[in-house]
Structures are given as C-alpha cells and as structure tokens.
Structure 1
C-alpha cells in the first residue's frame, strides 16, 4: 500500500489545514473552503487565514453541501492556472461553484503524470483511452497530450462544456465528448465489442445520470468493474480508479480488482494526499492502478 502526493505543482499549494477547513493557493489566488477530513487544529491563527485568503466558502445552514463564496476585492469568479511537468503542459479554467469545488482536484496530478507516461509508452499510434465520470477532464487532457484517442464521459452537460474549455486552453483538440450515464455507456460499449488500451474511472459516492439514472458507489462499482474488465485490452493496457467516498478503504478496491481482473501487472494502490506547509498530510481518496508496462 502506497501514499502518493503530487510532486510537480508550481501553481498550486496547500498552505494550511485544520478545523474542517483548508487554505489553498490556486495560481494567483488563495481560497479558504471546507474540508471534512481536516479534523485537527489549524497551524496558522484565524486572522492569518482571513488576511491571506481572497475568497471564503460559507456553508448554508440547511444544506452543508452547498453554500456561497465571499470574495475580497480583486478576486475574480473565474481564472486560469497551469500544470507543467516534463512535456505535459495543461491549462485549467477555475471557477467558484456553489458546491465549494473549483474545477480541479490537485492531488490528481500524480495520476495525470502516470496517464501521460503510460500512454506515451504504447507502441501503437493513438491508443484508445476511456475516461469515465471525467469531470473537467484533467485525465482526458493528460492522455490526449500523450497522443491518445480519448473518449470523455460525464453525465453533466455543463461540466463537459467546462472540459472542452480546458482542452482549448491547453491547445489540444479532438477529444470525443459523451454526455451520458457511465454505467449505461459501458454496457453499450461491451455489446459493441469495443476495446480500450487505457481505462480511467473517477466515480463519486452518489450521482445522477442525465436521465435520472441513480449511481450509488457501493451498489454499482462491482458491476461497473466487471464490465470494464471486458473493455480493457489484454496485452497493452493501463487502468486507474480513484474513489473519494469517506470510509471506502483501499483494501476494498484491492479485493475488487483481484476478484475481477485476477493477477494484474505492476499494481499500485493506496491513498492520495496533499501535504500542507506544516507537514500535515490531508487524505483525499484512495486509488488503484496497474499497467502492462
């Protein structure tokens, strides 16, 4: 079991965490927003947070999942930031959403590096990569940058439009966009006999498809992984899954992968985290990945 944290961010930094909040720098702007796993104390005093942050997320009393951003003067509601490592050069549009998200999960940079490197190593030109629950497309952009033929699937049309903006900002093109329920799409791809060299899954704990399809991680993940095992190339492949559900152990994913895929080559699994400048490690989900090379 591994603990992985991105090493190559220049535009992002986790400054401090604690008291169920995190203080983060995204490009030119610093944000304060809720973080349910930061159960420890902050290292900096509150007045330092107030001084450093350009925007604060204030939760609604009746719905802790939603809220509003309080902006200081000069803080835009949308801006751009870059991620650069070796030949990987991505640009993301960030925006302040009512669900506290900003359009990027910085801990995923370690997976973008993995996707880029594994895609580059395929002998065949334009290996096919399927990104499910693809959100704003960081993983799609990494695969496309390495020369893959990418299919990007998400159930929310506005999020897919956001991904397209990220593609254009990153000077990439020709990603195939699919607005659909991921499980429904995968079932259809299995019937078609489709094969992919790369599979990327980033399922939420709960979700809804565009036609009201219900997704519950614990109920649906076993079926989805069984279907994915039929889509993955048997000789040349990489596979990666991230899970953010609180309390969903990496051991559960290990059992699922071993039971469905059997003995896989080059397995890596464990937790993703970000470390603040006071060396507190903030856990941000579990991952499992493997590849033929």
Structure 2
C-alpha cells in the first residue's frame, strides 16, 4: 500500500468521528508515528510504499473506535519532549505547557516544588529539567499514573520524588517537606459537561482525572489550598490550571483561604486558565 493510499484510507475511516481536515491530520500523524517517517517524507513521496502498513491497520481499528491518537502511539509531546502515555493517564495538553512556562519563569530561585496530581509526570518532569537546581516532588492517587510518571522521569533523565497521595485527604501528611511552590492541574470538568465532550476524551481518558461534581466544581482547588497552608513555606506560591468558568470563584476561594497576590492569566485562546497566589 502506498503512503497516499494508507493515509487516505485511514482518514476515511475517521470521518465519522472527526471533520475531514482533522481526520486527515490524525491519519498523517498516525502514519508518521508508526512508520518512523516524518510527515514531510510522507507528503513529498506519496507514491512510495508505506513501511509497517500492517501496524497502521491495527492502529486504524483503535482510532476508528475513538481511542486517542496519543494512546495508540503510546506517546504525547509536551514542552518539546516525548512523554509516554497509556490509557489510565490523562493526555498532556498544550494549555498546561503555558502553566509550566509561568512556573519556570517565576521559580528560578526556588529550591523545592511539589506537583499535585502528576498523572504522566509531564509537569514535574518538565520543571525538574527546567529548574536543575530545585528538588521536584510529585503526588498522585493512581498507581498506574505513578508508574507512567516514573517511566517518564527515567527516560528523560529527570530527578523527581514520587509519592502516592490523595489531593483531597491527607496530602500534607504525605509530605513532611516544605515547598517554595505547589503546582497542580487537578480535575475540574463538571459532570454536567460530560455529555458534550468529544467521545475520544469522555470515553477513553480517566474520569478521575477529569470530572468533579456540579455542586462543588472547585473542591480540588480548595483542598490543595488548605493543604498548602501546611506544605508551603511563608510566601510560597500556589499555581493552578483552572476551569475557565470558575476563574473568579477560584480566586475568591484562595483569598478566603489566606492567599494574597492572586493573579489570573489567560491562555493563548484568551480564556482564563491559570492562577497564581502567595501564602500570606
């Protein structure tokens, strides 16, 4: 099968799930990831045979069932680095790269940071590599996530101390250390948004990393902020990726919990998606 035929065949199978342009983009990325060829090579010599065409067919079955491309390839790019991802671990998003960039700029002199709800470890590993003079710690309740985070730290050469801990209960008890900053991208999607989400997210990514009750959509932020009063050094900072529709609610909660210098920032799409505050 030629490269053109393989990509066209896969794109056609994906059209029921995605618009034609996105379907072709996914098909091209899948062909590149599985064959080991660059997208440029695929496009400039479309009549050549595609290596590993049988593997692409197996991938097509998974993609046509709605499984995210990153799970099929076993990898997702984040901050310019390849991170291992598997079902059971949230796929890193570009918006979270903006949060990491903010922390990297603001914590140049920090000595110890904690990532709560680390998932694949993309935040903690990126910070460890970007702040080589700091100690990085990370917490997650999922054993599967901790295993993936540990694999990513090993593969990318980052020193991160991983511990199993629940963001909602006993987080401060799991960490006797004190931190200059805490970073977290916790669950924040209200359950009522579930039905409207794309099936490749809703039906395949871990619900425990995504959804919160409609009647308390900032419960993770509140719990981490309260734990932060014990975990942070005086003047320590708390960084969150947030739910855009709860930005002001989150900011007000932080002030009520004893934090000051609350700053909201918008992402590249102009949505309020990040917040930083300082322990008073």
Normalising to structure 1: TM-score of the pair?
0.58
More helix by share: 2
Q: Please tell me whether the aligned partners of residues 81 and 94 of structure 1 are also in contact (alpha carbons under 8 angstroms).
A: no
Match of 1:69 in 2: 67
1:157 aligns with 2:157: no
1:140 aligns with 2:124: yes
Deviation at 1:114, TM superposition (A): 2.0
Q: Secondary structure at the match of 1:234?
A: strand
Q: Secondary structure at the match of 2:107?
A: helix
Match of 1:205 in 2: 188
Q: Secondary structure at the match of 2:234?
A: coil
Whole-Å separation in 1 of the counterparts to 2:82 and 2:180: 25
Q: Secondary structure at the match of 2:127?
A: helix
Deviation at 1:252, TM superposition (A): 0.5
- Provide, for residues 27-74 of structure 1, a one-character-per-residue CA deviation record: whole Å limited to 9, x for no partner: xxxxx89x9xxxxxx9xxx433333322689999xxxxxx64388xxx
Q: Secondary structure at the match of 2:83?
A: strand
Match of 2:84 in 1: 93
Whole-Å separation in 1 of the counterparts to 2:174 and 2:237: 18
Deviation at 1:253, TM superposition (A): 1.1
Q: Please tell me whether the aligned partners of residues 254 and 277 of structure 2 are also in contact (alpha carbons under 8 angstroms).
A: no
Whole-Å separation in 1 of the counterparts to 2:229 and 2:221: 12
- For structure 1, list consecutive stretches of 5 or more residues without a partner in the other structure: 1-31, 36-41, 61-66, 85-89, 275-280
- Provide, for residues 155-182 of structure 1, a one-character-per-residue CA deviation record: whole Å limited to 9, x for no partner: 1111111112221222223x11112212
- For structure 2, list consecutive stretches of 5 or more residues without a partner in the other structure: 1-13, 31-59, 190-206
Aligned-residue RMSD, C-alpha: 4.0
Deviation at 1:189, TM superposition (A): 5.1
Whole-Å separation in 2 of the counterparts to 1:79 and 1:134: 16
Higher normalized contact order (CA 8 Å, seq sep 6+, divided by chain length): 1
1:253 aligns with 2:250: yes
Match of 1:28 in 2: none
Q: Please tell me whether the aligned partners of residues 74 and 84 of structure 2 are also in contact (alpha carbons under 8 angstroms).
A: yes
Q: Please tell me whether the aligned partners of residues 112 and 138 of structure 1 are also in contact (alpha carbons under 8 angstroms).
A: no
Whole-Å separation in 1 of the counterparts to 2:163 and 2:179: 16
Deviation at 1:93, TM superposition (A): 2.2
Match of 1:11 in 2: none
Q: Please tell me whether the aligned partners of residues 116 and 142 of structure 1 are also in contact (alpha carbons under 8 angstroms).
A: no
Aligned partner (choices 263, 270, 273) of residue 268 of structure 1? 263
Aligned partner (choices 286, 289, 293) of residue 273 of structure 2? 286
Q: 1:70 to 1:272 in 2, by over 3 A?
A: closer
Match of 1:222 in 2: 222
Q: Please tell me whether the aligned partners of residues 133 and 154 of structure 1 are also in contact (alpha carbons under 8 angstroms).
A: yes
1:184 aligns with 2:169: yes
Deviation at 1:112, TM superposition (A): 1.3
Q: Secondary structure at the match of 1:203?
A: coil
Q: Please tell me whether the aligned partners of residues 112 and 142 of structure 1 are also in contact (alpha carbons under 8 angstroms).
A: yes
Whole-Å separation in 1 of the counterparts to 2:119 and 2:230: 23
Q: 1:68 to 1:269 in 2, by over 3 A?
A: same
The count of corresponding residues between Structure 1 and Structure 2 is 210
> 1:32-43, aligned counterparts within 5 Å?
none
Match of 2:38 in 1: none
More strand by share: 1
